[in-house]
A = this chain, B = another copy of it.
């Protein structure tokens, strides 16, 4: 089939390649003319035969918002927009409504896979009307990993991004689990080979996983991670997961602890711990570390 693809960065470019390898026609647009097949959204729309499917793969927030609004003007009734970016699920309902008013369908799709996706396939979680999803299915089939897993119709519009967001929240806590265990093993004198312990866990254990395999890969490059700073960024989806949990009164202690550990890792000197030190000094004459 024919697909319009907007956004040809690292992620979008690889996806174009994987879709083409599956035999589909992709017309790609990017603000960077070196990457693009057409020079404008207008041209992209013109070149696609209707009814069209246009996949948006641009940064979440304002860029996606602007692109959807522009497509609402350019596309025709019966066309479909797929938002494959990292949009917050709360944006999806608004986009679905905006497009529905013009007779245009909307599907949101959370995409996981990163740098490994081109070769191994991308995990896909999509939301929207069944009829719209059926129209996009050949593209989903091209992008997903081989085998029976890796793609799911998660629910209504927004459910795809919601599922991807929860995936990332789970990922935060799993990473934190391995990280806490690794630090504890490294802290104990009688344990002499933490890297080999991690390696041994790759088979026969309850905690074997792809993330564990990656941890071993990392330790093979730098046994005690001495070349890295204990500094971890966060990409938005962990935050949104906690906010969604608060909206629904769901307790998420492990995922939230993982998010807060990242926040704390980025502080040179913790303000709250200054206050603890100050209070200890006031009530107890405890010695505190001054600068």
List of B residues within 8 angstroms of A211 by Cβ? 206-207, 209, 279, 283
- Per the bound structure, the CA–CA distance linking A148 and B245 in Å amounts to 41
Interface residues of A in 153-204 (CB under 8 A from B): 153-159, 162-163, 166-188, 190-193, 196-197, 199-204
Residue contact A253 to B253, C-beta cutoff 8 Å: yes
Residue contact B272 to A261, C-beta cutoff 8 Å: yes
**8 A-B pairs with the lowest CB-CB distances in the bound complex, closest first:** A209-B209, A173-B177, A230-B273, A152-B200, A230-B270, A123-B204, A253-B257, A251-B260
A232 nearest in chain B by CB position: B276
- Per the bound structure, the CA–CA distance linking A260 and B214 in Å amounts to 27
| A201 in contact with B231 given A169-B184, A251-B263, A283-B211 (CB within 8 Å) | no
A146 nearest in chain B by CB position: B203
Residue contact A115 to B278, C-beta cutoff 8 Å: no
Binary interface encoding of chain A residues 114-156 relative to chain B, with 1 for a CB under 8 A from any of its CBs, else 0? 1111001111110100000000000000001101011111111
- A225 interface residue per 8 A CB criterion: yes
Partner of A156, one of B159, B185, B190, B218: B190
Residue contact A158 to B190, C-beta cutoff 8 Å: yes
